[in-house]
Amino acid sequence: MNFTDVIANMNSFIQNRRIMFLEKKYSFVFSRIIRSFLITAIFLYSAINSHAQNANASDTSQFLTLRQCIDYALQHQPLLNQSLINVSIAKTTNAINLSGWYPQVNVSGNLTHYLELPTAYITNPANPTGPLVKESTGVKNTVIPELSATQAIFSPSLLYASKSAPLLVKQAEQITDSTKIFLIASVSKAFYNLLLTLEQIDVLKEDTVRLGQNLRDAYHQYVGGIVDETDYEQATITLNNSKAQLRQANESVVPEYAALKQLMGYQPQKQFNVSFDTLEMRHDIAFDTTQQLQYEKRIEFKQLQTAKDLQRTLTDYYRHTYLPTVSAFYTYNYEFESNSYSNLYANAYPNSLIGLSLNLPVFTGFSRIKSIQRSKLQENLLDWSEVDLKLQINNEYTSAMANYRSNLYNLELLQHNVEMAKRVYFVVTLQYKQGIVAYLNVITAESNLITSETSYINALYQVLSSKIDLEKAMGIISY
């Protein structure tokens, strides 16, 4: 190597070092700029996010779980709130019916002006043994303000009101409980139905992606002269069908959200998304099928028992209507009398009285006896209603248990089908790319895969729905 080459190598080395130095320098500067930009962006994002959270602190969460949807419905659903108001109405009605036990105080007044005074025949003081003498009595103007008070001591109707009051409140509360049970079951089913559609959309999206790849493969196979034009056309047809199903599923989400909002009492103009964990839902399908049916847990059975208690109370009331009604009364009159209006209030003549009032029904045209007979017949109707209700409950329980077991078994089989269908589709796709099988095999494998995945999703939500029906039939839905 000569001197010139040495100089050239040194210059090249110096130039390379200079370039490396400049690259490190600008890289360091560039990294500082990027770091500063990221820090600024993080602060800006935090500030905006904090402001958004403060601004929307009172808004409903965008993502709602099933439990949150149920809790929202239990607070805002119109029918449930009407039931709660009916409980308050029942309590207020009882207070009105029981008010008869308190003293009843009234104030009244009468202003009387005689156009002609009453006539009376009295003994003639001058001739006591002679004929009676006609004479006008009283005064022309009379004002009598009256204060009266009565106190019930015993009354069959008030006694009936006292006994039936707690039963009427219980009846209203059981109607509210029935509404809650119906609401929880309906919201859960609507929630699961919406999730079913959302899961189907995800499956159809994956299917569309796969079919798009198949279309590209078929096109390249066709361009390469490996297959004819029909494979490409069949791939196009299959992809278009999948797109149509995806569009239909996307459109059906809107009315399903509307149905869920109606059940929740959610404002239509506001939007929310459902939040769910498929794995957690897979664990929620478990149910202890060894539990025995207990009729008394059903809210309908409880309502019927309350209705029977009310009817027996009514029968007792008719049976005791022969008892007297006893009450005490007090009256105070402050009477003013005068023949001229100018002196009407010059003098007062007060009077007062106190006493007991008794009303004893002696004969009522056999009304009491017939009322007792009618009430007992109504009790018999309720007894037969109980028999019919038990048959209905047993039928619902048997059907719900059978559906749950069959759907659970179906779910386990379909889960294996999905795994096998994925494996078959993967193998057939590779074989088609290698020219071993026809495209019809790919279509069949793809059809089996999408059918298996869709069937599995349907089976999962059928199990969840049948579990709700089973819990409702057994009367164990908690609220």
DSSP 289-332: TTPPP-GGGSHHHHHHHHHHHHHHHHHHHHHTTTSPEEEEEEEE
Q: Would you call 160 helix, strand, or coil by DSSP?
A: helix
Taking the domain 69-101+155-322+364-474, which CATH number applies?
A: 1.20.1600.10
Residue ranges per structural domain of the chain: 3-59, 69-101+155-322+364-474, 103-154+325-359
Helices (H) and strands (E) in the chain, counts: 9, 8
- pLDDT at res. 439: 78
State residue 109 phi and psi, 5-degree precision.
-155, 150
Assigned token pair, 55: 């601004």
Q: What is the rounded CA–CA span in Å between residue 167 and residue 147?
A: 37
- pLDDT at res. 123: 84
Q: What is the rounded CA–CA span in Å between residue 28 and residue 376?
A: 98
- pLDDT at res. 187: 95
- pLDDT at res. 318: 95
- pLDDT at res. 48: 38
Computed over every residue of the chain, the mean pLDDT equals 84
Ranges under pLDDT 50 in the chain: 1-61
CB–CB of 453/421 below 8 Å?
Answer: yes
Fold topology of 103-154+325-359 = Outer membrane efflux proteins (OEP) (2.20.200)
- pLDDT at res. 351: 93
Q: How many CB atoms lie within 10 A of CB 363?
A: 7
Q: How many CB atoms lie within 10 A of CB 39?
A: 10
Q: What is the rounded CA–CA span in Å between residue 213 and residue 438?
A: 16
- pLDDT at res. 212: 87
Q: Are strands 273-274 and 63-64 parallel, antiparallel or unpaired?
A: parallel
The model's pLDDT over 192-238, given as tens digits with 9 standing for 90+, comes to 999 989 988 988 898 888 888 888 877 777 777 776 778 778 888 88
The model's pLDDT over 99-130, given as tens digits with 9 standing for 90+, comes to 999 999 999 999 999 998 888 888 888 788 88
Q: Where are the beta strands (DSSP E) in 305-449?
A: 325-338, 348-359
